[in-house]
Amino acid sequence: MTATIEARQAVTAATQPVRFHQVGKAFGQGRRAVVALDQVDLEVAVGEFVCLVGASGCGKTTLLNLVAGLDQPTAGGIEINSSRPAVVFQEAALMPWLTAAGNIELPLRMAGVPKSVRRTKAAELLELVRLGGLGDKRPHELSGGMRQRVALARALASTTDHTGSGAGKPSLLLMDEPFSALDAITRDVLQGELLRIWQATGTAILFVTHDVREAVRLGQRVVLLSSRPGRVVRQWDVNGLTGPAEIAAVDEVNAALRQVISSHAA
């Protein structure tokens, strides 16, 4: 599959896809300003899977929006050394007027990729998310889990375009609580799928969630953010943990998260 090969080649240009330097973000001005992020230092290595956890209001989504370029930081700087970061939102947010394949082709179309190339690419990505042959379905004909997989394939299509300025740079996938609106069993299956796709494509992933268990299961590294303002509190290396060690790690992160939350009780 060419998607795999291209991504692997990108990995050889060993620069960190994203680096935060003392990033701050405030909404509003003056005394009524709400500080969402404060002095955040964070970096994601090539091909690394990083999970961000934190209670609501910790600026997880803000942080992701900054990386995605949907918002600008008010302090510090973000260094991005990847092709355009791909984003998967909590909702699949597929374009209802396009088929599944049409949705995946959309970023390529906007980048001016010729039709035949788009077709092939969309078919490949559909296979990757195990939706081969369903490219002609409309979003309303798909289940929630299938829609989210199409959204993932679409996001990958937006990042694996190596014709533009991002050519040869490592790719980066941003995910904002992508599975939290799904039922438990679908979520479980999709977590497995995401790991498989991560291994297949070698992309770096910055994954936001409020579910500690999910973070420990998926991530190599878990980063805990405090709330209002969001700061990096602690990080855990959870790479390859299984069984009792995984459970212990979940308990530890959970305890730290609770501590952060109870510090807000006044």
Partner 1 sequence: MPLDTVGSVEAGLDALDTPVVEAKVSLPRRIVGRVLPPIVAIALFVVVWQILWAAAFWPEFKLPAPVDVGAQIWELVTTGEILSLFWVSVHRAVIGFAISLLIAVPLGLAIANITVVRRGIGPLVSGLQSLPSVAWVPAAILWFGLNDRAIYWVVLLGAVPSIANGLVSGLDQVPPILPRVGKALGAGRWGGIRYILLPAALPGFLGGLKQGWAFSWRSLMAAELIATSPDLGEGLGQYLHNGMSLSDISMVFAGIMLIFAVGVGIELLVFRPLENTVLRARGLTRAS
Count, residues in the chain: 266
Instruction: Tell me how far apart the alpha carbons of residues 257 and 180 are, in angstroms, rounded to a whole number.
Output: 18
Instruction: Tell me how far apart the alpha carbons of residues 17 and 44 are, in angstroms, rounded to a whole number.
Output: 6
Residue in 193, 211, 246, 252 binding partner 1, rule: CB under 8 A: 193
Instruction: Tell me how far apart the alpha carbons of residues 13 and 65 are, in angstroms, rounded to a whole number.
Output: 25
* Site pattern 101..130 for partner 1 (x: CB under 8 A): -----xx-xxx------------------x
Q: HSE of 156 in the Cβ direction (CA atoms, 13 Å)?
A: 30
Q: Is 207 in the site for partner 1 (CB under 8 A)?
A: no
CB of 52 to partner 1, least distance (A): 17
Q: Is 185 in the site for partner 1 (CB under 8 A)?
A: yes
CB of 89 to partner 1, least distance (A): 7
Given the complex with partner 1, which of 102 and 229 has the nearer CB atom?
A: 102
* Site pattern 126..145 for partner 1 (x: CB under 8 A): ----x-------xxxxxxxx
Given the complex with partner 1, which of 47 and 85 has the nearer CB atom?
A: 85
Taking the alpha carbons at both ends of the chain, their separation in whole angstroms is 55
Instruction: Tell me how far apart the alpha carbons of residues 141 and 207 are, in angstroms, rounded to a whole number.
Output: 28
Given the complex with partner 1, which of 108 and 224 has the nearer CB atom?
A: 108
Question: Do 192 and 226 form a contact (C-beta atoms < 8 A)?
Answer: no
Residue 101's contacts (CB-CB under 8 Å, 6 or more residues apart) are 119, 122, 123, 126, 135, 136
Given the complex with partner 1, which of 82 and 227 has the nearer CB atom?
A: 82
DSSP state at residue 85: P
Q: Is 1 in the site for partner 1 (CB under 8 A)?
A: no
Nearest residue to 49 (alpha-carbon basis) of 216, 257, 237, 207 = 207
**Site size toward partner 1, by CB under 8 A:** 41
Q: Which residues bind partner 1 (CB under 8 A)?
A: 68-70, 84-87, 89, 91, 93, 95-98, 106-107, 109-111, 130, 138-146, 154-155, 158, 161, 185-186, 188-189, 192-193, 195-196
